[in-house]
Each structure stands twice: as C-alpha cells, then as structure tokens.
Structure 1
C-alpha cells in the first residue's frame, strides 16, 4: 500500500558534529553524485564536499560557515530525498530557509547539479558578505501552548527596535513556536536586552548566520541573480510549497517567476515556514511528514506548526507525542531510530 508524504528539507544549522560523516555513513552508493558536486566546488577553488564530510575533526568555526555548511546540508538532504522507500509517494516538497533551494532540486525544478550550484553560490555569497546576524526566541511555552498576544508583543518590540537610531531588526523566519529574528548588531543586542531569558538558553544567537530573509540581504540577492541564470530553473515534477505558503504546480509554473522569487523575495523578505507546513497539511493531507537529514532539529518546528494549526485535533505537545507514539507520522531521517521508517 502506498504511503503519501510531504518531504521537508532543512536549512542551515543542521550539519553539526554528530552529522560529520553523514554522506559516507548513509550514502556510499551516491559517491558519483557527490563527486559531481566536488567538481563544481573545484571550479571555485573550494574544498571537496566528500573531503569535508570524510574528515575526522569537526570545528564549529569552520563547519558553521555558509560556504561549508550549505553544500554539505544540500548533499545530505538531496541524497536522503532520493533514498525513500518505494512505497512512499511524495505529494509535495517544502523546506526551511535554505531548504527551499534543496526542495527545488528534490521536487525536480532544478537538476541535482544546478541545485548544488544555487546552494553553493548563495552560501558562499552569504559567507563572503556576512551582513548582520540571527537569533532565536520562542513564543510558546514548554507544552507548545499558543499565546497570540505574546507573539504580537514580541513582533511589536521588534518593530520598535527597528525604528531606533542605528538599529536594524526584523522577523527572519516564522518557525513553528519560534521566531527567528535577524538584524545588525545594535538591533540584535537591543532585543536581547529587552526580553527575559527563557528555557535557560533563549534568546540564542546562531553562529555564522547572516541576517537572512531581510532587506539587509539585498546585495546578496542582486549578486545571486547576476551569477545564477533563469534557465537553470525548469518545471517542477511535484508541487513545491514556498516560504509564503504558495504552491508551485507541475506544468503550470512560470519558471522566470520561480527564479525571481527564489533569488529575490525569498532572500530579502521573511520566510514563513509555519505557513508552508500548514499549507502542506491542509492541501495535501499526507500520511507522513518526512524531514530529510542531516540533523533532526527541524522536526520540532514541523510538529509545532501542526499543533498551532490544530492538525487532527492536536492541541499541544502532549497530544502530539501521544499521536506520534501510537502512529508515527513525523519522520526525521537524521534520527537513527526513525530513519528506517522512511527508507524501508
């Protein structure tokens, strides 16, 4: 019997020390694909993806860089997307932030190599320019109870800080029960000073992350458009859900508009991952939500997005956990205890 699935691709911050060697552990049969990525890296004078994954030593300073993390995450996620069990039918693909680029390749709108070119180019540009930074802050409590007033108050504080002299701050990603905020140093510091520390770790800065999905990235968007041609993009083979919740349908996609969104709006405007997941749930009603590796941190944001939508009556974390325990429907391929549920 066929299982339908929405495939969800992760963004930056998902290839960490435990993920070192992910390509060699899980995808030795895909080495020809990875070597084609190495050839693209060689053209730019960059270290091979297979060498980066195959080394014995992980350092945060190196592996959190955009020009290192992005190609590794892309290779791992795309290989996972191509390793699904034969009884799984992917009915739609989406992703978080950089995961949109991976989704384009997993959904057939970019070839594997052109998808790599997009990811490697944009990751390198982000690192070279490294404009601003990001932090994460939750607006739900430990049981994922939604407080609309709390979220509104936080966004009002962001707007207030953004209006202060010398401060840039904006919503970067709506990420389940979290707000990812981005801005310049004065803007980020002002938010950290204005909000209490919660759960012993938030607000939390993200290492080597620029002010993604804000107007500060306009120079990166312009350079990306100059380097990456519209003819790299083709019709998707399955529906793609972008960072606004818009669906790009096979056979009905304006590929010029897809290029324009991907290297324009998607770079400089807020990314609503929550809405993308909720659109996937409502429009495609899949049996499974499969989050590709590397890492498994995105699973929480997917679950929170579904709870916030009251998906199948799940109103809080406890309800999600109860349903997941009896009928696992959210599979993180980066988790060893769940991977076989997707790969067979």
Structure 2
C-alpha cells in the first residue's frame, strides 16, 4: 500500500460500507472483539442483554471460552459475535475524515447494516440479530452449498453459471430434493436446499479446488424453506423499533432505502418477510452502491476478510475503475487500495491512520 496519509488529506473520503454475514468469525478471529472493544459501554450492555437471556456473554465467547466451531458457529452465538465485531469497526471510523455515503451487507450483514445506517439503535440491532440467530438455530431448516462460476482470474464464465443453474433446476423436485438460489455472491452462487437436494447437488458438481463447499451450521437462508422462521420472527418481533436510516441503505434486491423516503413499517416488513425467503442478491446491492453513490473506497468491517474476495469478483464484473481480473485488482490494491477489509490489521490501520 504505497499511498500515504498525506495524499488522502482534504475532503472527507466517501465510503460504501459493506457489512459481512455468517461464516466470518472463525478460530483466527477469536479475541477480535476484545481487541477492538474491550471496556466499551456498548459492549457491557450487549453482555448484560445476553446474560439476561441466560446466554454466554460475547466477551466470554470471545475471550474466556476457547474457540470451538460447534459452539461459536451456532447461529445464536455466531450472529451476535459478528454483529458486535462489525459495529466495533464501524464505530472506529472518524466522521471528520470519512463520510459513509451508503450501507449494505451480505445476508446477516443486512441486520448489521440496519444499525450501522441508523434505522435501528445499536442495542436494538443486537436484539434483532440475537432473535434471528436463535430462531434459525432452533429450526435449522436445510443448508447451503457454495460454488464458483468464475475462472482462476475471477473473470465471469457465463457458460459455467448457466450449467450450474440448469443443474439446480433439474435436481429440484427429484425424489424429494429441494434446491434454490440463496445468495448471489460475486463470482459464486450460494445454493440453499434440503438434505436430499444438497447431497445430489454436491455429487453432481465437478470439483473446483475446495468447492463445492458445504457451509457449516448454515440453514437454507433466503429460500422458501425459511417460511416457518419468517412467521416466528414476525410474531417474536411485531413492534421492532425500525426507523428511517441516517444514511441510505441498500437491501438484498438492490433497492435503496433513503432517510427522506423510508417507511419504517415497510422496512420491517421486508426485513422480516421477503428478505428471509427470497434470494439475496449481494452482487446487485454492490452494483447499486458503486454506481449510485460513487464511493472513493469500499470498506468491509470485520471480523475476518472472507467477503473481500466475493466483493472483488463483483467489482470485476462491473468493470469498476477498469478492473478486468484478479491480477488487475491486486495491482490496484498495491498501488492505491480501494477495497478495505478492516478485519486485516494492516488495512484497518491504513484506513484509520494508525
């Protein structure tokens, strides 16, 4: 990263904030929250909220309880941990240097975006994330498989994508199999389904490196299989305190929710309705973010940095700043980093001027 702090002096930088979802807090991230937020008043409130529900506190999960994927990867623990880590990074941004022009997220990251963008209070966001993580964990309906449709240089391969979609359509309904598009994730597709469907899909897909990859402790998010969870969520959170955001939000369809036009009831209805049972198009959200808000940089809060690759793939598909492949993206990052993953210490320190 050759750009110095001096070259960034002047007007506030325009940031598109992209909040990560499930699967980003793993063994390498254990201790992340303590490093970013130890002693914070809001973390003490989060811990109290968890304690009141008879759950291990986030501070304990992040520091006292050794990492175990079977424990830390559960929806009722993983989702609040990720939410808290992301908010710690968002709160570290300097409003005198950084202007957040819009906020979006991937899957569970939509809940984080609601709070980061001001449509929910920080504590109300944790209550939403905790409730949804618990409902998903208790129901555990189906699962997800991740598979790429780009080449090794992250260039799109439309024929590979077409074959993948055709396979999903062919297997769906065969001997009880259920398969659906779950998340459009840059150059990858997340497929949700029941066990019969996912088993058939994995067996039919040609191996590409570590793919097809079954995502650990993930239900079939953003598919019709989540209809029972949707109904329970709407009953559990009938009066969730949604408001108008402070900055524009971009949802999983690419729709913009502005501070001056958002109807809070409609935002509640989408979040606890369509968002749960319809495909989440992260790529569309990113496309709208860069085209409509022209950010100087795209910032992904922690924990982890796994969303960085998918984001870069989506930017390559858009030809953002002339990107045409992985090598071009890496060259841009080395010369003037435009995609910042705050889960990487060097990138976080560079952004914050540390």
Same fold (TM over 0.5): yes
Q: Is the 8 A contact 1:137 1:179 kept in 2?
A: yes
Partner of 1:246: 255
Q: What does residue 340 of structure 2 align with?
A: 331
Residue 177 (str. 1) matches residue 167 (str. 2): no
Q: 2:349 matched to which residue of 1?
A: 340
- How big is the alpha-carbon RMSD for the aligned residues of Structure 1 and Structure 2? 1.0
- Map 1:65-214 to 2 at 5 A: 65-85=74-94, 86-199=96-209, 201-214=210-223
2:73 is matched with: 64
1:14-35: CA deviations, max 9, x gaps?
A: 01111111111122242x1112
Size of the alignment, in residue pairs? 342
Q: Deviations over 1:150-179 (max 9, x none)?
A: 112211111111131200111110000111
Q: Which residue number corresponds to residue 6 of structure 2?
A: none
Counterpart of 1:44 in structure 2 is 53
Q: CA deviation at 1:317?
A: 0.8
Report the alpha carbon displacement of residue 132 of structure 1 after superposing the two structures with TM.
Answer: 0.5
Quick check: 1:295 aligned with 2:304?
Answer: yes
Q: Secondary structure at the match of 1:58?
A: coil
How many angstroms apart in 2 are the aligned matches of 1:142 and 1:230? 47
Paired residues of 1:294 and 1:334 also in contact (CA < 8 A):
yes
Contact 1:21–1:55 (Cα < 8 Å) also in 2: no
1:272 to 281, 294, 297: 281
* Cα distance in 2 for residues equivalent to 1:343 and 1:243: 28
Q: Secondary structure at the match of 1:91?
A: strand
1:11/1:97 contact within 8 Å kept: yes
Counterpart residue number, 1:304: 313
Task: Tell me what 2:7 maps to.
Answer: none
Q: Match of 1:54?
A: 63
User: Paired residue for 1:284, among 278, 284, 293?
Assistant: 293
Q: Distance in 2 between matches of 1:82 and 1:181?
A: 33
- Local SS of the residue matching 1:8: strand
Contact kept, 8 Å, 2:145 with 2:192, in 1: the verdict is yes
Partner Cα separation in structure 1 for residue 98 and residue 16 of structure 2: 10
Whether contact under 8 Å (1:9, 1:291) holds in the other structure is: yes
1:221-259 CA deviation, whole Å, 9 max, x = no partner? Answer: 111111113451001000000000100000210111100
Contact 2:103–2:117, Cα closer than 8 Å, also in 1 = yes
- Which of 17, 30, 34 matches 1:24? 34
Q: Which runs of 5+ in 1 are unaligned?
A: none
For structure 2, the residue ranges without an aligned partner over 5 or more in a row are 1-9
- Tell me the TM-score normalized by structure 1: 0.97
Q: Which stretches of structure 1, 4 residues or more, deviate above 4 A after TM superposition?
A: none
1:296: Cα distance to partner? 0.5
Shift of 1:192: 0.8
Distance 2:191 2:317 in 1: 20
Secondary structure class of the residue paired with 2:134: helix
Q: Pick the aligned partner of 1:225 from 217, 221, 234.
A: 234
